[in-house]
Chains A and B, each alone.
Chain A
Amino acid sequence: MNFHHSLYTLIVVTIGVLAHANTSWAGDWDVAGQASLELRYFPYTAVHANQRNITVSPSGTIEPELVYEWNGGRDRFTLTPFARFDTDDHRRTHADLREVNWLHVGSDWDLLIGIGKVFWGVTESVHLVDIVNQTDAVEDISGEKKLGQPMINFTIEKQWGVFNVIALPGFRTRTFTSDSARLHGPLPVDWSNETYESSRGQRHIDWAVRWSRSFGDIDIAISHFQGTSREALLTLHNRGGVPVIVPHYSQIGQTGFELQWTTENTLWKAEAMSRSGHGKRFYATASGFEHTLYDVGESGVDVGLLMEYLSDNRDVRFAPASGADNDMFAGARFVLNDTQDTSALVGGIYDLQNHAVFVNLEAERRITDHLKVEINARFFVNVPDNDLFALIRSDDYVEMKLNCFF
């Protein structure tokens, strides 16, 4: 685990902030956060011998956020710890420092030091280019939940665009569900004895740079990452006659490209990436559109239609498997524009080769100023044995969340 890195960063940043803030101590504190209760329902029987046949699984999270601002808001300290308690999965029960950082905002530049999160990308169904933070995979299979990443992140904005350079000391390993849990394959994962291509292991310093610029309605970005792969190669080992999976983290170079063209009712989007270090250099793309129909039939409801084509030519003998090698994503987003901000997104990723479908449904509605209810469902339909989702195809689930914001 990377707890030592996190703790070290916390101490350094806190001392830095206190030292800096000492001169003008008249800043502002802001405490906020969120807690949630979550119930997952698995309608189908678990198929792997190592899995317990869990049908209903409760868990809860807490994520407070403490912000201190001084120097007229030009300096900011943020602390966001996160914890989940899961009744059935002791690996999903975990804690993380999502953010512990000091941010200084200059005239046309800013500098963030500490643990933070960076998002890159434009598409909706996959996030090919987004590579700075490790995925907190036990949280959600969507890949949108991220672990806090130690970083020194400098951004400068000039006429020629926005340039962002990030030094990433301290690697975060991907999280895995426990061997007996749902959303887990038939083999145990030895997640704590992971191996690295770099002799420096977790201490390897990764780098990321990105340049972005707008040309009227067109936004483009080019990025490059050099360092330890966030995706793990799952290698098969034999521990005293028992087969186990050991995650292996290779050194990679990944170049990314992002494009968005914003027209009246349609957003045209494309992402592409090229990676070396996982066998032969390979390419992946995601491209499509989001077209919005406003106020459909004078009902006040907006309907967004989404479509993205996904391709990936990686060789899975040398690279971590990808769920979208030649797939089509289609979805619809419903925004009711009511006082409760009710919205729903329903979508499916269809594999054009093996006809497997991954169905995703997300809906949310506010109940009070402090409460929101969320319903998410994920279904694996028609998944053949050779698909990435084959190992968890019986772990379809419906999830209900009650989020309390304070």
Chain B
Amino acid sequence: MKSDDKLLRWLLTGIGMSLSMGLFAVSIAWADESADKGLNIATEADRRDVGFGDFRVSLKMVLRNRYDQESIRLMRNTTREQQGDGDKTLIVFDNPRDVKGTAFLSHTHKLDADDQWLFLPALKRVKRISSSNKSGPFMGSEFAYEDIASQELEKYSYRYIADEQFDGRDHFKVELTPTNAKSGYHHQMVWFDKDEYRVWKIDFYDRKNSLLKTLTYQGYKQYLNRYWRAETMSMVNHQTGKSTVLTFTDYVFAIGTTDSDFTSSRLKRAR
């Protein structure tokens, strides 16, 4: 019967609509839940690192191209934690020798653009520079400026994806989407371990959403009985075959810096 057909169709459509509505509602709830869980994981990781005060560390960066040719960067980093704002960081370069004595000062902020200065020792000149170059390479390496900048919670939105086990550890897999349009990434996939909320691996996806780089962390050590720092960070660029290995040595915490040590005027005394 035609009318029955019609009725049936109406009925089916109605069921279908309510079904899909229901599914939609479920997926919204699920998205909310996974966003909440993602944020909670990131917040917990962040909370566990609060209160370190300050530290200094020596960095060695080994840049390798696809023909296995190496070049080495040496630098020293001093970082001072800020309450309610991003950290202040001073980096002094030692190698290559032509940039020896060059110093980079950064006042990072949670949402506003960071403030950055560069000290050029040959001219004894301090230049305030633009910080909008987030996706550019740091010192010609596979690390972008945004990879080495202080990671503030507010810089991303979060989504919990799954639990994953590797290297004998249980992990949370969380998707981070940058809130800043200038970021070079569509999103990052981050693996936190469940015991200590340390990051062990990050997959970076470029703006076109294809896998660009993978960063892996090794050799975590605990300082001041609380703060975990990796000894090695290895970045591999899947699209170019280039890689950069960053090694941290001689971490010293509680070195007694003051904010006066991180001003643009003091930068010209850095070495």
Among B72, B125, B132, the residue within 8 A (CB) of A294 is B132
Shortest C-beta distance, B8 to chain A (Å), equals: 55
Answer yes or no: A372 CB below 8 A from chain B CBs. yes
Contact A264 B136 (CB under 8 A): no
Q: Which residues on the A side are within 8 Å of B264 (C-beta)?
A: 214
> Which A residues are closer than 8 A to B by beta carbons?
32, 34, 67, 69, 76, 103, 105, 107-108, 110, 117-119, 121, 144, 155, 157, 162, 212, 214, 219, 260, 262-267, 292, 294-295, 300, 302, 337-341, 366, 369-370, 372, 403, 405-406
**Bound Cα distance A260, B127 (Å):** 10
Pairwise interchain contact A405-B133, C-beta atoms closer than 8 A: no
Does residue B269 face the partner (Cβ distance < 8 Å to A)? yes
Decide yes or no whether B263 CB sits under 8 A from chain A.
Answer: yes
Question: What is the 8 Å Cβ interface bit string for chain B, positions 55-67, against chain A (1 contact, 0 not)?
Answer: 0000000010100
New contact pairs (4) apart from A341-B99, A369-B96, CB-CB < 8 Å: A107-B260, A119-B124, A162-B263, A339-B63
Interface of B is mostly: loop
Does B123 have its Cβ within 8 Å of any Cβ on chain A? Answer: yes
**Provided the pairs A67-B271, A266-B130 are in contact, do residues A405 and B123 lie with their beta carbons within 8 angstroms?**
no
A-contact 0/1 string along B103-140, CB 8 Å cutoff: 00000000001010000000111001110110111001
A108, A121, A219, A302: which contacts B133 (Cβ < 8 A)? A302
Q: Do B133 and A157 touch (CB < 8 A)?
A: no
CA distance A179 to B101 in the complex (A): 38
B71 at interface by CB-CB < 8 Å:
yes
> CA of A162 to CA of B125 in the docked complex: distance in angstroms?
16
Chain B contributes a number of interface residues (CB within 8 A of A) equal to 33
Residue B97 lies at the interface, judged by CB distance under 8 Å to chain A: yes
**A139 CB to nearest B CB, Å:** 12
Q: Is the CB of B125 within 8 A of A119?
A: yes
Q: Would you call A339 and B269 a contact (CB within 8 A)?
A: no
Taking a contact as CB atoms closer than 8 A, the residue among B97, B135, B263 that contacts A295 in the complex is B135
Q: Which residues of B contact A262 (CB under 8 A)?
A: 115, 128-130
Using Cβ atoms and an 8 Å threshold, which residues of chain A touch B263?
Answer: 157, 162
What chain A residues lie within 8 Å of B72 (beta carbons)? Answer: 369
Distance (Å) between the CB of A221 and the closest chain B CB?
Answer: 11
In the complex, B266 has a CB within 8 A of chain A = yes
A103 partner, pick from B96, B115, B260, B269, beta carbons under 8 A: B269
Binding site for A on B (CB under 8 A): 63, 65, 71-72, 95-101, 113, 115, 123-125, 128-130, 132-133, 135-137, 140, 258, 260, 263-266, 269, 271
A260 proximity list for chain B (CB < 8 A):
128
Contact B271 A264 (CB under 8 A): no
Whole-angstrom CA separation of A369 from B72 in the bound complex: 8
A295-B136, A302-B136 given; A157·B265 CB < 8 A: yes
Q: Which residues of B contact A121 (CB under 8 A)?
A: 125
A339 to B96, CA, bound (A): 10
Determine whether the beta carbon of A117 is less than 8 Å from that of B124.
Answer: yes
- Min CB distance B85 to A, Å, is 14
Does A292 lie within 8 Å of B96, measured CB to CB? no
> For the complex, what is the distance from the CA of A118 to the CA of B133, rounded to whole Å?
29
Chain A, residue nearest B242 (CB)? A339
Are the CB atoms of B269 and A32 closer together than 8 Å?
Answer: no
Inter-subunit contact B269/A110 (CB<8 Å): yes
Residues in chain A near residue B266, CB distance under 8 A:
105, 110, 157
3 smallest CB-CB distances across A and B, nearest first, come from: A405-B97, A339-B140, A162-B265
Identity of the chain B residue whose Cβ is nearest the Cβ of A261 in the assembled complex: B128
Q: A214-B264, A266-B130, A341-B140 are in contact. Are A403 and B135 (CB under 8 A)?
A: no
B250 to chain A, nearest CB (A): 14
Complex interface: chain B residues within 8 A of A32 (CB): 97, 100-101
Q: Which residue of B lies closest to A76 (CB)?
A: B271
- Least CB distance from B141 to A in Å reads 8
Min CB distance A102 to B, Å, is 13
Cα–Cα distance between A262 and B63 once the two chains are bound (Å)? 31
Chain B hits for A370, CB < 8 A = 96-97
How far is the CB of A140 from the nearest CB of chain B, in Å?
12
Q: Which residues of A contact B96 (CB under 8 A)?
A: 341, 366, 369-370, 405
Say yes or no: A372 contacts B98, CB within 8 Å. Answer: yes
Decide: A339 and B133 in contact? CB cutoff 8 A. Answer: no
Q: Which residue of B lies closest to A369 (CB)?
A: B96
Q: Indicate which residue in A107, A214, A264, A339 contacts B65 across the interface (CB closer than 8 Å).
A: A339
Knowing A108-B260, A403-B98, say if A265 contacts B124 (CB, 8 Å). Answer: no
In the complex formed, the residue of B with least CB distance to A63 is: B122
Q: How far, in whole Å, are A250 and B96 apart by their CA atoms in the complex?
A: 44
**Contacts A294-B135, A302-B136 hold; do A219 and B123 have CB atoms under 8 A apart?**
no
Q: Contact between B265 and A212 (Cβ–Cβ < 8 Å)?
A: yes
Most buried by A among B97, B99, B258, B264: B97
CB-CB < 8 A to B125: which residues of A? 119, 121
| Distance, CA A263 to CA B128, complexed state (A) | 11
A108 to B101, CA, bound (A): 22
**Contact present for B140 and A338 (CB under 8 Å):** yes
CA distance in complex: A110, B266 (Å) = 9
A294 and B135 alpha carbons, distance in the complex (Å): 9
Return chain A residues, CB-CB under 8 Å to B258.
Answer: 107
In the bound complex, residues from chain B placing their C-beta under 8 Å from that of A219 are: 128
Shortest Cβ distance from B129 into chain A, in angstroms?
8
Q: Can you sample 19 A-B contacts with CB below 8 Å? A: A69-B271, A107-B260, A110-B266, A119-B123, A119-B124, A119-B125, A121-B125, A162-B265, A219-B128, A262-B115, A262-B130, A265-B132, A267-B128, A294-B136, A300-B137, A302-B136, A337-B136, A337-B137, A369-B71
